[in-house]
Amino acid sequence: MKTLSAVSFLWQPFSRERRTETFTGYALILPALIGFSLFYAIPLIRAFELSFTDWNMLRAPRFIGLDNYIQMWNDGRFWNGMKFSFYYVLLNIPLQTALGLFLAVAMDRLTRSIIVRSVILLPYLLSNVLVALIWLWMLDPILGIVNSVITSLGFDRQAFLGSPSQALATIAGINIWRHMGLVAILFLAGLQNIPRYLYEAAAIEGASEWQMFKHITLPLLRPVMVFVLVTSVTGSFQIFDTVAVTSAGGPYDSTNVIVHYIIQNAFSFYKMGYASAMSMALCLVMVLYTLIQMRLMRASESDLA
């Protein structure tokens, strides 16, 4: 059965039911499939073609074979960009997920105040660019309000976005601020589906709050966790807006994450072909990551079935 091709599957004599199911399935995904083909698949194929050309957007593309890929292999800044994006994900995701999870649990077990819930979602209502500008304003080492607090407490002035060693972590912090409410809301949804009696039973047996969290909450939250991780990791890997506004890849290239470098090549250096080649590499990395995650996700679904 498994080896049957799609066509013979459709024409199987016995499966009238299966045929209507197939038909309905395609009908239901059709609008999304049109959107996907027009605005994702075709541009991606086009970009794949462009990755073999020298194209500055303004003149006609010129075919140059694998030159872009060879250049990429030898381009230290490309590898640095990949490395910085990877660091960024490491700086961003664990803390963001942990804080989101903590907030979700707190909102589930500690307080059900609607005010608390609304407040933690507020930062997400502002756009990336505005959030970046607000923090740029507050984090200025000399004029910013954050440093005035730090120095009034007797600590040294911190350069934050101006320091090569702090800039990437600062950008991660800004985005954690914006996204932790969203993550918390997603987790909260998952938490609310965990049957109450499990906690009650555990409490009778004398389990502590921490033990309940570890043995009930965490395992039952796995499907949500996977959804949050897939979407937030891919989101973080594509970090660009905040970098462009706050540090423009600097200081000393320390925040030149891969998407920033790609966009720099495309729109400042007018090297669209090279930018396309790097985008292909980035896609490949992300698709591999997702495949792994999808595996994990499928496993978790069957666990709970």
Partner 1 sequence: MSVFERLNWFRIICWLILAVILIVTVTPLWVMLKTALMPSSEVFHHSTAWWPTNPTLINFERVLGLLSTEESLKAGGSGAKVNFSLAMLNSVIFTGIIVVMQTMSAAAAAYAFARLRFPGNTLIFGLFVASMMIPGVVTFIPNFILIRDLGWLNTTMGMVAPFCLMQGFSVFFLRQFFLALPKELEEAAYIEGASHFYIFYRIAIPLSITPLITIATLIGINMWNEFLWPYLVAKDESHQVLTVALQGFKSQTPQGQPDWTGLMAATAISVLPTIGLLVVFGRNVVESIQFSGSK
Partner 2 sequence: MKLKYLITTTLALASCQWVQAAEVKYMLWDSNQLPAYQQCATDFQAKNPDISIKITQAGWNDYWTAISTGFVSGTAPDVFTNHLAKYPEFAKSEQLVDLAPLIARDQVASDQYEAGLYEVWGRDGKQYGLPKDWDTIAFIVNMDIAKQAGVSLEELQTMEWNPKDGGSFEQTIRKLTLDEAGNNASSDKFDKSKVKVYGFQTPGGGGMMGQTEWSYLAVSNGFKFHDKVWDNKYYYDDPKLVETISYLAGLPDKGVSAPYEQTKSLGPDAMFVGGKAAMVPQGSWMISYFKDNAKFPTAWVPLPKGPNGQRATMFNGLADSIWVGSKVQEEAWKWVKYLGSAECQATVAAKGVVFPAIKGMAEKAMEAHKAGGIDSSAFITMSKEKTFLAPIADNGSQVDDLMKTSLESIFIGKVDAATALKEANAKINALGQ
Residues that bind partner 2 (CB under 8 A): 56-59, 136-137, 139-144, 157, 159-164, 244, 246-247, 250-253, 264, 267-270
| Cβ neighbours for 104, distance < 8 A, ≥ 6 positions apart | 183, 184, 185, 186, 187, 188, 190, 191
- Decide: is 150 part of the binding site for partner 1 (CB under 8 A): no
Q: CA 239, CA 259: separation in Å to the nearest integer?
A: 7
Q: What is the DSSP string of 119-154?
A: HHHHHHHS-HHHHHHHHHHHT-TTT-HHHHHHHHTT
Least distance from C-beta 175 to partner 1, angstroms? 13
Nearer to partner 2, 115 or 142 (CB): 142
Q: What is the largest CA-CA distance in the chain?
A: 81
Judge residue 95's burial from the number of C-beta atoms within 10 Å of its C-beta, 0-12 exposed, 13-18 middle, 19 or more buried: middle
Distances in Å between the alpha carbon of 63 and those of 49, 127, 216, 273? 9, 39, 58, 10
Residue 176 corresponds to which amino acid? I
- Decide: is 132 part of the binding site for partner 1 (CB under 8 A): no
3-state secondary structure (DSSP) of residue 54? strand
Residues 25-64 as x/- pattern, contact with partner 1 by CB under 8 A:
xxxxx-xxxxxx-xxxxxxx-xx---------x-------
Least distance from C-beta 287 to partner 1, angstroms? 5
Question: Which of partner 1, partner 2, none does 268 bind, CB closer than 5 to 8 A by kind?
Answer: partner 2
Question: Which of partner 2, partner 1, none does 61 bind, CB closer than 5 to 8 A by kind?
Answer: none
Nearer to partner 1, 63 or 111 (CB): 111
User: Binders of partner 1 among 154-193, rule CB under 8 A?
Assistant: 177, 180-182, 185-186, 188-190, 192-193
- Decide: is 12 part of the binding site for partner 1 (CB under 8 A): no
Which of 62, 70, 155, 208 contacts partner 1 by CB under 8 A? 208
